[in-house]
Chain A
Amino acid sequence: MDSFFNEPAWIALRLSLKVACWATLLALVAGTGFGYLLARKRFFGRELLDAMLTLPMVMPPTVLGYYLLVLIGREGVVGAWLQHHFGINLIFTWQAAVIAAAVVAFPLVLKGARAAFETVDMQLEQAAMVLGVSPFGVFLRVTLPLAWRGVLGGTLLAFARSMGEFGATLMVAGSIPGKTQTLSIAVYEAVQAGQDDTANLLVIITSVVCVTVLVAANKLTPNRNPQR
């Protein structure tokens, strides 16, 4: 049994889950924040910001990977700074895979959260303000409880997307077995090496995980809001 769970396939699955969990967490925080900002605040360039933030969803993953290398690579703007001040190198680490997956999955949370926040009646927020509750209190007590289904729906899609991330991850994290080789990359390597058995197992695992997440997404977001 012990050796079974040390199979490369399971190691890749564990890594994929770890990367996807962290990436989803980052995407959730950033996506909720920006989603609220775009839904509620009026400022110049709002729709342009929305478009910029949605870009990772439509851009080729390789282009995204290139941008990330420019940013967090050894010579990159942020990368050089991290290296110089903290001795941290992100390239070819699992943390780089997290960043790549988070950037790709972030627009899914953003879109779901913005749409959900826009359905919340602003009068309810105003009523809470007049009752003396601080802006962050209003967000936690009124806006979020009325919008959480939309936010959660986007988050689960983001998780599924993180699990499947391939292109950008390969460019910034590489394919080091047991270290940065996630499920989707392991499939590619197995097929390239002609290891059909491994490829089959990996494909089945990936499919099961994705179906499970999607079923969970549908189960957790039925339309039983107590409103109206």
Chain B
Amino acid sequence: MTMVINVDIRKTLRSGDRVFELDARFESASTRVVICGQSGAGKSQLLKAVAGLMTPDQGRIALGGRCLFDAAAGIDVTPQQRRVAYLFQDYALFPHLNVRQNIAFGLQRGWRNPLARADVEAVRYWLAAFELDHVAQQLPHQLSGGQRQRVALARALAPQPGALLLDEPFAALDPGLRERMRAELDALQRRLAIPMILITHDPEDVSAFGEHVLRMNQGRLEEHAHE
């Protein structure tokens, strides 16, 4: 599966007296794009723009030939309609819902949360795939770091998104666990063949996932030569 991603956006961010200019342009046909850079370089803002959580001032974003954002044409697909998965740095699991409900969250659209015993095929699949069966009824704060990440991944992937966006996915983990979860994500991505964009400041992530590596520096993107 090839999925071409086109990003060409500009955004001026202000907080107090600080003005930050985001000017990001890249195109990739790779299913493993890694954007690396120091914290505060604008990586998260770029990822949020792709997910529809931040609206750029100008430019356009297209994913697999589908236009998600085009300022000139007045197109701005809502985050709900973009069909992307987003893995937040600290996972953003719903603290009031158990593991089962967290995973089922995106499968049930309406105004009510899934039941605590929600027994859906897709939920069963992800609980088994990530060995979460024994913690299915537990709340996020009762889980270990690795389990939390698995729940977040399962929740993001259950609605069968077209792309996976990862914001510093291993930063919240212990170094030992980091290695294992990297291998797990690596195998998962290959198995699902889902296109992913990963942002990180960790060189280990770059060597593990970087098929197409871009470097972000003070709001600007540049191609990163392979070492």
A interface residues (Cβ-Cβ under 8 A, vs B): 121, 123-124, 126-134, 136-137, 140-142, 145-146, 226-228
In the complex, A143 Cα to B106 Cα: how many Å? 16
29 A-B pairs whose Cβ atoms sit less than 8 Å apart in the complex: A123-B88, A124-B92, A124-B95, A126-B79, A128-B105, A129-B53, A130-B51, A130-B52, A130-B84, A130-B86, A130-B156, A131-B105, A131-B106, A131-B155, A132-B80, A132-B106, A132-B159, A133-B106, A133-B109, A134-B109, A136-B111, A137-B109, A140-B111, A141-B111, A141-B112, A145-B96, A226-B95, A226-B96, A227-B141
How far apart are the CA atoms of A32 and B79 in the complex, in Å? 25
Among candidates B82, B94, B109, residue contacting A142 with C-beta atoms closer than 8 Å: B94
How far apart sit A140 and B90, CA to CA, in the bound complex (Å)? 23
Q: Which residue of B lies closest to A228 (CB)?
A: B141
Chain A residue with Cβ nearest B101: A141
Check B92–A134 contact: CB distance below 8 A. no
The proximity string for B residues 66-98 relative to A, scoring 1 for CB distances below 8 Å and 0 otherwise, is 000000000000111111111010101011100
Which listed residue, A126, A137, A140, A146, touches B95 by the CB 8 Å rule? A146
Name the A residues within 8 Å of B94 (CB-CB).
Answer: 124, 127-128, 142
Contact A132 B109 (CB under 8 A): yes
Given A121-B92, A146-B95, CB of A130 within 8 Å of CB of B79: yes
Supposing A140-B111, A226-B141, A228-B141 touch, asked if A133 and B80 sit within 8 A by C-beta, the answer is: yes
The size of the chain B interface, using a CB distance under 8 A, is 30
- Using known A-B contacts A126-B53, A131-B159, A133-B105, determine if residue A227 contacts B95 with beta carbons closer than 8 Å: yes
A137 and B79 contact, CB distance less than 8 A: no
**How far is A145 from B84 in the complex, measured between Cα atoms in Å?**
25
Complex Cα distance, B140 from A127, in Å, reads 15
Q: Which of B86, B90, B95, B105 has the most CB of A within 10 A?
A: B95
A124: shortest Cβ distance to chain B, in Å?
5
A78 to chain B, nearest CB (A): 33
Return A185 CB to nearest CB of chain B, in Å: 41
A224 nearest CB across to chain B (Å): 12
Cβ-defined contact, B80 with A129, below 8 A: yes
Q: How far is the CB of A148 from chain B (nearest CB, A)?
A: 10
- B96:A127 contact, CB within 8 angstroms: no
